Structure 1
Amino acid sequence: MEQREYTTGAGAAPGGLATGRGVGAGQLIADAPADIPAGAPAVTAAPVGAAAADTRAERLAVRLAAADPGAAHDLFTAAYGLYGARHFGGVVEAGRAAGPGTSWWHGPSVQLPAGLRSRVGRQAGGPRRARRIAADAQPPVAPATRGRHRKPERSPGSTPQEVAVERRTAARLLAAHPLVTATGPHAAGFPLVRRHADWLAERFLTVLGYPLTIGHSYARLHKAGLPGRGLTGFEPAGYAGLVRALSALADGRPVEAERDDVLQLLDEWQVLTRDADGAPQVDRELARALGPLAAPPAEGPALTVRRLLAETPVVLLDELSAEERGWLLEHQWAEAELFADFLGLEAEIRAEGVALLDPADELTDLALPGSGTLAQAALLLAERLVEDLRPLPEESAPSAVLIPDALIDGALGDITDEYGLAAGWHRDYLADLAGFRRDALDLLRRMQLIAPAGRAWLLRAPAARYAPPSEVHRTSGSGRHSRPGPAVQQELMV
């Protein structure tokens, strides 16, 4: 699985708080073999001169430009470690708590907007009634609490409780946005990061093995490489251009290849800005701090598992090594308390593994549940697949089950009929079901609710947290796009 390739651990991470001058163009990754695996660690080199740094940056850029898109994403992430945390959204319904021995397949489900709960509509009246329910329901909206960690603080905390809240807020901001600048989109939280810099540096290094670099106008958290977490919209040539641009700006040279995607990102990162007269301004210190220096690899199970818990939606026990699995089973309650205090995350412990949830639904770079055509369709698709495929309560509960390919097409066709026009879904998707299927499955994959198995897909147990309770099983193949279940097929043959 993808998460098992995650480069984790503290290794020889530098300790304490680094200044902006301590990390820069001279600390580029060392030369690595051309066949570097996805998610391989960035090997840091000792500080070198500008000429050597430029040479290594150019070598990295050449490798990025020659890589395929997936490998380029993973190579960039392994070198830079710039990505946000990702966690499930939605809370378990009140009064339906479950213990660690309960399977996700049979455990309590989360509260979803009424328009996305389709069981009643499908069992009592079919697609037409479901369309009427969807039309009457209010469309899902983003949670009101989203973005809470970006609100400015009124005054420095004075009591221990206020200090703890400030530190947690700053830590959450860095976990969600590893680069925070004094004038960027998350500038309101930068004073908090500066105020608690020493504590944050110590905690990130101790808990996750992540070095933290803080300069006069920025804070940069160095995460370990994680497959599948590249920059949105970037492809190999764009990554190569970005590496060359950062190296040039750090060295005081002009950017030669003016790619729009690169310039836009440098502007977003506040490396390139303009003064009141429109003249370009370069933050060379920040450009140096953004040089490739990800956190080093793990040396033991503790940081390996902690990084997976902190950065990925769910950690399944059977995808860990024996040592990692034993460590998690022994320490899961202590880790739940640690992450609740550090990042405000709540642990959902089930028979198959552990997921850390954010009650505020904000500490994630992908929202599920979420607003928009793709998020709504993906959630409904997961629900239908779970209803058809989850094992009965008296059966064994595997961590994943194989999804028949025809079931995906049938379920997506049914929910498109039932919800598409009534819910105002994007017409481009309604006109291109193949593209709709591709993107919906990709979202479920990135949220770790499904996983590839060759040319097929596996439905993972945590997907059941978004389906209705399992007391009653829906008859499979009830929509006009679905194939009839075995019992129905037998009746038709008589």
Structure 2
Amino acid sequence: MEQHEYATGAGEAAGGEAFGRLGGAGQLTAQAPLGLSARTGPLARRFAESGDTAAHELFTAVFGLYGARHLGGRPAEAQPGAAASWWHGPTVHRALGGRPARAAPGPPGGGRGPRPRPVRRRPAPAARGARDAAQGAAAGERRTAARLLLAHPLVTADGPHGAGFPLIHRHADWLRERFTDLFGYPLTLGPGHARLHKSPLAGRMLPGFRPDGYAALVLALGAIADGLPPDLDRPEVLRLLTEWRVVTGEGADRSCDHGLARLLVERADRPAGAGPVAPHTAVRRRLAETPVVLFDELTAAERAWLRGRLPAEAELFADLLGLEAEVRSEGVALLDPADELTDLPAAGTDPLAQTALLLAERLVEELRPLPEEAAPPAVLVPDALIDGALGDIADDYGLPPCTGPDYLADRTALRRDALDLLHAMQLIVPAGRNWVLRAPAARYAPQAELHPEPGTGRHSRPGGLPGPRRRLG
């Protein structure tokens, strides 16, 4: 995993007394140094002088506050062995917009078929049954708490995810041990917060933030940590600090949590995860945080470890996070059957996400290698093919309704936003001025035609789109 090195060059001031939400946390804050507003100044300048990509990467290196990102949906057919390629493996059947879902095989004659008869089991002794039920409930609570922390590394008791906060505290020792042993992620707990310190990860960002916004955020946190009045004029900064519960209330009733702000910035010059990382830790971090892990993107040591540990790691992630491993010849994707453990919009509800997956489907139909050809991890996408596919989607489905860019007047914005979303899903990646379509994109495309009809070529779409023009959303 890529590591980002930086230094603020700031010194530390004398220690002081804890206050704010964490005042009762004792050792967590009692020795925290004051003067954080001065220490965050050089870091804010570094944010302000960075480009967009560098600023996003610096944010994850400093704070590690990004959510996990996993693909959802199961293929309709049985899971093949690791020798199968994503290009020709089973696909995910889901309805996008008004388009009917491709039907999975069902019972003869249609319909749902008869319900299977329940299997009658001999009841377990009462004591053993109660013990098993308690153990199952505890495992479910731990899994819920672990998923919450992986999706939202900062959870506060009165914040938007406060309903899960008691579970985190109830299983704090178990969670701390598992996150440390498996990923090297420290877990900090206080009476009103839980903070998972993730490691640097490229490709993540705070929505709505650019370099000057990150700089303003750092300065505001430093001021609040020192009990000084923060500058909250930027709406994105106020929104995020309110979500984090560093700032609560409005106007004259506004208050700031100095202790929580201090917790967030006191390690700004000592980010978690810096330095060498063992191959198994690096691979587990990628499996836990990213949609897809391709074998050819790993180092030789990481690839050898993962190939030798696939069954055990699949079981581990199923127990810890409820994720299911989809193994192909090109790599591994950990799927979330609940379609919840992701920081991206779901295609079932978001029109732009629907358009993006339709674009991926069209590109796969045009570029998928034939069965007798080698199945590469990715193929180059002709630039004109993207515009043509988006034009076909607009003709067949209409344009997605927009709350930001006017896609009807600005097709360039539609292209940019759809490609950015597919990039975030790791279904495509940039290659200079072009794009490369990755094999996992084929899990959303029609099933490969293993024996094409005479006269069809690799760039010919079989048949047409079913049904009349439909609108997305």
CA shift, 1:290, in A, is 1.4
CA–CA distance in structure 2, aligned partners of residues 285 and 261 of structure 1 = 21
Take 1:450 and 1:338, find their aligned partners in 2: how far apart are those partners? 28
- 2:280 corresponds to 1:302: yes
Match of 2:362 in 1: 384
1:348 aligned residue: 326
- How much has 1:471 moved relative to structure 2? 1.9
Tell me, in whole angstroms, the C-alpha distance in 1 between the residues paired with 2:27 and 2:449. 59
Give yes or no for the alignment of 1:54 onto 2:37: yes
Distance 2:298 2:339 in 1: 26
State the alpha-carbon separation in 2 of the partners of residues 85 and 112 from structure 1.
Answer: 22
How far 1:333 sits from its partner (Å)?
1.2
After superposition, give the CA deviation of every residue in 1:197-256 in whole Å (9 maximum; x if it has no partner): 111111111111101111111111110111121110011111111111111111111114
* Aligned counterpart, 1:246: 221
Q: Structure 1 residue 167 and structure 2 residue 138: aligned?
A: no
1:232 to 192, 207, 215: 207
Distance 1:225 1:454 in 2: 24
Q: Secondary structure at the match of 2:406?
A: helix
Q: Distance in 2 between matches of 1:346 and 1:328?
A: 16
Find the aligned partners of 2:34 and 2:136 in 1 and give their Cα distance: 46
- Indicate which of 311, 325, 341 corresponds to 2:303: 325
Aligned to 1:210: 185
Structure 2 length-normalised TM? 0.80
Aligned residue number for residue 285 of structure 1: 259
Indicate conservation of the 8 Å contact 1:450/1:457, yes or no: yes
Residue 285 of structure 2 aligns to a residue whose secondary structure is helix
Q: Deviations over 1:337-371 (max 9, x none)?
A: 11111111111111001111101000000145342
Checking the alignment, whether the CA contact within 8 Å between 1:99 and 1:350 is kept in structure 2 is yes
* Matching residue of 2:105: none
Which residue is equivalent to 2:47? 64
Number of aligned pairs? 405
Which residue of 89, 93, 99 corresponds with 2:81?
Answer: 99
Q: Is the 8 A contact 1:378 1:440 kept in 2?
A: yes
Q: Equivalent residue for 1:73?
A: 56
Deviation at 1:257, TM superposition (A): 5.4
Q: What displacement does 1:274 show?
A: 2.5
Distance in 1, Cα, partners of 2:285 & 2:308: 17
SS of 1:428's partner is coil
Corresponding residue SS for 1:290: helix
Distance in 2 (CA, whole Å) between partners of 1:401 and 1:417 is: 26
Residue in structure 1 matched with residue 466 of structure 2 by the alignment? none
Distance across 2 between alignment mates of 1:118 and 1:295: 47
One of 417, 436, 444 as aligned partner of 1:458: 436
1:392-432 superposed Cα distances (whole Å, 9 cap, x missing partner): 111110000000111111111101110016x7677921322
Following TM superposition, by how much is the alpha carbon of 1:21 offset from its aligned partner in structure 2, in angstroms?
Answer: 5.5
Q: Tell me the equivalent position of 1:255.
A: 230
Counterpart of 1:49 in structure 2: which amino acid? P
- The alpha-carbon distance between structure 1 residues 268 and 69, as it changes in their structure 2 partners (threshold 3 A), is same
Instruction: Find out whether 1:441 has 2:419 as its counterpart.
Output: yes
Residue number in structure 2 paired with 1:5:
2
The answer to whether residue 351 in structure 2 is matched with residue 373 in structure 1 is yes
Please say if residues 72 and 235 of structure 1, whose CA atoms lie closer than 8 Å, have aligned partners that are also in contact.
yes
Q: Percent identity?
A: 58
Cα distance, 1:7 vs. partner?
6.5
Distance 1:312 1:179 in 2: 19
Task: Provide the rounded CA distance (Å) in 1 between the counterparts of 2:95 and 2:374.
Answer: 31
1:288-312 residue CA offsets vs partner (Å, 9 max, x unmatched)? 1212364223431001000000000
Q: Per-residue displacement from partner, 1:373-392 (whole Å, max 9, x unpaired)?
A: 21011000000100111111
1:190 aligns with 2:165: yes
CA–CA separation in structure 2 for the residues paired with 1:274 and 1:402: 51
**Aligned residues of 2:179 and 2:185 also touching (Cα < 8 A):** yes
**AA paired with 2:255?**
Q
What SS does the aligned partner of 1:413 have?
helix
CA distance in 2, matches of 1:162, 1:409: 51
Q: What code does the residue aligned with 2:61 have?
A: A
SS in 1 for 2:194: strand
Select the residue among 91, 95, 113 that pairs with 1:113.
95
2: distance between equivalents of 1:437 and 1:175? 31
- Which shifted more, 329-338 or 470-479? 470-479
Deviation of residue 90 (structure 1)? Answer: 1.5
The 1:345/1:79 distance shift into structure 2, 3 A limit, reads same
- Describe the SS at the equivalent of 2:408: helix
Equivalent of 2:244, from 269, 277, 280? Answer: 269
Mapped partners of 2:93, 2:362: distance in 1: 16
1:394 equivalenced with 2:372 (yes/no): yes
What CA distance in whole angstroms lies between the structure 1 residues aligned with 2:135 and 2:202? 38
| TM-score, with length taken from structure 1 | 0.77
In 1, distance between residues paired with 2:335 and 2:232? 42
Q: Are the structure 2 counterparts of residues 424 and 49 from structure 1 closer, same or farther at C-alpha, using a change threshold of 3 Å? A: closer
Give the alignment's Cα RMSD to 1 decimal.
Answer: 2.6
- Give the aligned residue type for 1:445: H
Deviation at 1:48, TM superposition (A): 6.9
Distance in 2 (CA, whole Å) between partners of 1:114 and 1:429 is 19
